[in-house]
Structure 1
Amino acid sequence: MKIASHHAKPDSDVPALIALFNSTFEDFNTRLVLGDDEPIYLPADGEKPYHQIVFAHGFFSSALHEIAHWCIAGEKRRLLEDYGYWYCPDGRDAAQQADFEKVEIKPQAIEWAFTEAAGRKFQVSTDNLNGAEPDREGFTRNVAAQLEAYKANGFPPRAERFIQALSSEFGKSKLSALPISKATDKAAGNAPTGVERSETGYGIGVVAE
């Protein structure tokens, strides 16, 4: 699924991340692939006998985001390019942005868990720089609530498998509960614990323990 990674930077952990995914999910005949352009999911075909999760420009966060979408997609969806979904690009109006955010809540909650397991900081992405102003704080609350629900009730099986793999490989932090109130409280104009200040507003950041 195409979504910008404006806050991401290429880094030296990407080869290890690719190797980790490919070894963790050999039984799914799916490989994580570093792409030169927009991210995309490509099912196996006559040229490639394996499915490909192509992520953008060597960005660690882009890879985690695309893996999160794959962890949610069902068996039939995984036989279709980009899981059979149509991507509404940057420049969405308010109604289109609201629809976009609804389908991004679960994958971004899983991406957040991946990011935390890898010992990194996470920010939600509303991905609409040239369209209607997103309700970033509202979207952040929704993603945080979904993350808490996953922690309480269990992640999808492939997501859980990869959380454990990330934690074992990078070993910098453990998945820990972050109270939703911490994600929404703003006291005296300062970003609360677990939230990092950015030019676009308050975005949740996972702090390594």
Structure 2
Amino acid sequence: MLDVRRVVRGGVKERDGVLICSALGLRHRGSDPEAVADGLCSDELFVRLGGRSWRLPPWFTSRSRQLPSGTLPAAMACLRHFGSGMSLILATLGVALAVGVAFRLLALIAMASIGLVLAASILVHELGHVLAYRILMGAKAPAVLIVRGASCRVLRLSGPWRADVTVVLAGSVAPVVAAACAWPLFGLAPSAVLLGTLIALGHVVGLVLPFGDGAALREIAHGR
């Protein structure tokens, strides 16, 4: 039997039904949707069988966790947490790729490859935000990682505008750096390298869009 439970994140205080995260200046009633959206609590999915229950990864429901101190621990936590949300998608794409290779289904191979590279680019994108934030704002600067399936978000403190701009840009630049590092392998897998490069450039193009990192840049510009 499936059971959805609202779980309060570590580091959050609860007072008279109100969840408070003083480090990030957040305060919402535990029953409000904003409490989940801002990572104060999570709607987590459990499977109950007999007298035991198991918590499922955040494939369909949200889960938040506090970003640990330090650059390397923060980077590893980012990959683990966001990877857990995308694990079902990654596994499905991996199986599709294996089936495509086994039966020589070129269309399936192409679609699975695009999906895997796109999913990997999302992880690298969020890792770029986290690394830049840790380097520029300090090893103990508070932040929250919020994931739901392929939807990944880093909720953090604002800093000097130059640092904020760099943190936003780092997410889009990180896939480009990763793609550039893959170019020495062009002779071995030209299609994969070109695909990764095109998807990486798509992250940069996303900076001009009216949502995501593009919206964040405009908010920083208007707040100066």
Q: Which one has a larger percent helix, Structure 1 or Structure 2?
A: 2
TM-score normalised by structure 1 residue count: 0.34
Larger Rg: 2
TM-score normalised by structure 2 residue count: 0.32
